[in-house]
Structure formats: structure tokens, C-alpha cells
Amino acid sequence: MTEEYTRPIPIPDAASAAYWEGAKRHELTIKHCNDCGYYIHYPKTRCPNCWSTNVGDAVVSGRGTIYTLTIHHVPSAPGFETPYPVALVSLEEQEDVRILANIVECPLEDIKVGMPVEVVFKDATPEISIPVFRPRKG
């Protein structure tokens, strides 16, 4: 049983298509430079580390830690029931790859900077699933 998804639906573009296709499969897919090995997020078609355009897509672990966070008390878009947490999550593959996402399955007062988290996917539509993060056990 799934709850109705009432938040805005992301619209993939050429650079982010693989990210959203991966999310649909429940795999976190990040741009990856084939020349220098740098992970790239937000999705771009040129590596910001070495300027190569030889950029592909890599499925990552989905494990990371909360780099910083905020608790929204004022609704910023339709479908967001306040208060709700928004965090920048650093991926374990590369600390400066950070994903902006909601934190789920955790009381607001327990969400902390440095907390280990793992990705899970919220199915918004048959075509779009949203990466969110929950506390990691172990």
C-alpha cells in the first residue's frame, strides 16, 4: 500500500536522466569521470575536477553521513508537511559528493550532523522515485 505522493515531481533532463533512471531501479547512480575517477553531483556532463567530458554513470553504495542539515518550519513547496528535515549527505565514496535529501525513519530531535545514513527510495510515480536517507544500522 502506497500513500499518494503530493509533492512536486522532478523532471529529468539530459544530465540527470541516468540519476532518475537509477532511482527508479532503487539504485543511487552518480556521474563519474572516466579519466580521473572523480564523482560528480549535481549531474554534469563535464568533470569539474579535470574538465574531461569523458563522464559516465556509476552505481554507488548509497551509504554516507549527514554533512549538514536544517529543519524546515515554513512550507517551501506543495505537499511538504512541516516541520521536516533536509540534509546534505556526503557519500562514503567521496566526501565532497553531497546529495540534498530528506531524512526519514528518524525523530527530528535525533537527526545529527555526522550521523551515518543510507539511501532508500520513495516511489512518487511509476516513473519517478525520490532518493531519501534513513539512519544506518551498523
Positions that interact with Zn ion (CB under 5 A): 33, 35-36, 38, 47, 49-50, 52
For residues 60 and 90, the answer to whether their CB atoms sit within 8 Å is no
Cβ proximity to Zn ion, 24 vs 44, nearer residue: 44
Residue 42 grid coordinates: 549535481
Q: Which amino acid is at 121?
A: F
- Shortest reach from residue 25's CB to Zn ion, in Å: 25
Q: Which is nearer to Zn ion, 50 or 113 (CB)?
A: 50
Least spacing, CB of residue 38 vs Zn ion, in Å: 5
- Cβ 31 to Zn ion shortest distance, Å: 10
Could you tell me the smallest distance in angstroms from the CB atom of residue 81 to Zn ion? 40
Q: Which is nearer to Zn ion, 54 or 68 (CB)?
A: 54
| Between 6 and 52, CB nearer to Zn ion | 52
